[in-house]
Amino acid sequence: MALKSPSSFGQSVGRLISANPSQGAGLFAGLLLVLACCVGCKGSDVASGSGAGGEEEARSNFEQVPRKGYSRVVSLTPNMTEMVALLGAEGLLVGRTAFCDYPSSVTSVPMVSGGVEPNVEALLAARPDLVVVQKGVDAKLPVDSLTKAGVSVYVSKVESAADVARTLEELGVILSQPKRGREAAAEVRRALGLGDGASVRDGASGGRSGDGASTGDGASAGRSGDGASTGDGASGRSGDGASVRDGASVRDGASVRDGGPTVLMVHGHRPLVAAGPGSWGDELIRLAGGRNVLAGGNNPYPTLDAEWVLKLAPEFIIDTSFAEGEGEPADFWAFVGEGPGRPVLRFWSEPEVLRPGPRVVRAVELLRARLVR
């Protein structure tokens, strides 16, 4: 198997978007999150992360974020923007990236970044008191300078559905919406069969996300009950319908065959980057009932060649690339055998398949429905 640095793929993505500026902005944003953010998580720590002793690194810097009633929030990744909106705090947003487009109402928020690398001057001009960002993108952020300027920065790894739930809960505390955060997190965990998960305290110190920890207001951080809404008596929707989920649990849907179909998820063609073990795509495949053909590897985003795809012989290929035309060489898919016996599933208009965010339940539903023969 040919393995290459993911940075070469980032350069390829940049060339493609330059050639096709109007195509796939939503998928592009999700793709950058998956590759730039999640890959960036693998080699670095978050705030109080792993030390020389080899401890497991922290999933976020939640404990270091002051609790002080924030009123001006900048979000530097689309999934974080969706979470802020879902928690009823969309009105606090004073800055976003060019790819923060859901719910549609957030597009009225001024842009402070055109992509993965924030425009620090524009960011500071927005006068935020809180910046929220996914781990990976924060590498381009002058965190120390922001902190000295009195700006708090919340950084979270979001690589799995469990991370989505935890981040919703932590953001709920930080944004003074602890109940909404708990309920949104509980819905994700319930719908995807993740269990109740750890709770988050909302005390002044920030609290640890420890097992059995109190949520601070006497309410349990466990299940929100069947059909519970996300919010204090509200529907949990924000803007044009952002919500954790609608309808029954994905576990109640149609089932795949025994053992599940074998699946390869690709994120680009030049080079061919795929979802390996520990990646967001790997998580979605598993939750949807499939089996990732790359599960036995050790690289979350390997670069493959066409011959290796033939050897893997997946029953389904999921193509999450955003670009059409030059971005999707028909001769390549003809070579790997696209057809009734090996369908290639495309998600041009469903960026939730790529974004590690609160629409994860919908993403799993979309994949599950397509993986059933």
Please tell me which residue, 253 or 260, carries the higher pLDDT value. 260
Q: 250-269 burial by CB neighbour count: b if 16+ within 10 A, else e?
A: beebeebeeebbbbbbbbbb
Quote the pLDDT of residue 323. 45
Q: Rounded distance, CA 139 to CA 365, Å? A: 33
User: Whole-structure pTM over 0.85, yes or no?
Assistant: no
Quote the pLDDT of residue 270. 76
pLDDT at residue 170 greater than cutoff 60: yes
Confidence grade of residue 342 (pLDDT, cut at 50, 70, 90): low
Confidence grade of residue 335 (pLDDT, cut at 50, 70, 90): low
pLDDT at residue 195 greater than cutoff 50: yes
Confidence grade of residue 183 (pLDDT, cut at 50, 70, 90): very high
Quote the pLDDT of residue 145. 86
Domain with CATH 3.40.50.1980 in the chain: 62-243, 251-371
304 phi/psi in degrees, rounded to 5: -110, 170
Confidence grade of residue 201 (pLDDT, cut at 50, 70, 90): low
Q: Which positions ≥6 away from 102 have C-beta within 8 Å?
A: 26, 78, 81, 82, 85, 239, 242, 351, 359
pLDDT at residue 233 greater than cutoff 60: no
Tell me which of 32-41, 210-219, 272-281, 344-353 is least confident. Answer: 210-219
pLDDT at residue 308 greater than cutoff 90: no
According to CATH, the topology of domain 251-371 is Rossmann fold (3.40.50)
Confidence grade of residue 267 (pLDDT, cut at 50, 70, 90): confident
Please tell me which residue, 372 or 162, carries the higher pLDDT value. 162
Tell me which of 27-41, 248-262, 309-323 is least confident. Answer: 27-41
pLDDT at residue 185 greater than cutoff 70: yes
Q: Rounded distance, CA 293 to CA 316, Å? A: 10
pLDDT at residue 262 greater than cutoff 50: yes
pLDDT at residue 84 greater than cutoff 60: yes
pLDDT one-digit tens code per residue, 314-333:
989 888 875 444 445 566 66
Quote the pLDDT of residue 214. 38
pLDDT at residue 312 greater than cutoff 60: yes
Q: Which CATH number fits domain 62-243: 3.40.50.11780, 3.40.630.30, 3.40.50.1980, 3.50.50.60?
A: 3.40.50.1980
pLDDT at residue 75 greater than cutoff 70: yes
Quote the pLDDT of residue 274. 93
Q: What rounded mean pLDDT belongs to the chain? A: 73
Quote the pLDDT of residue 333. 65
pLDDT at residue 257 greater than cutoff 50: no
Please tell me which residue, 212 or 170, carries the higher pLDDT value. 170
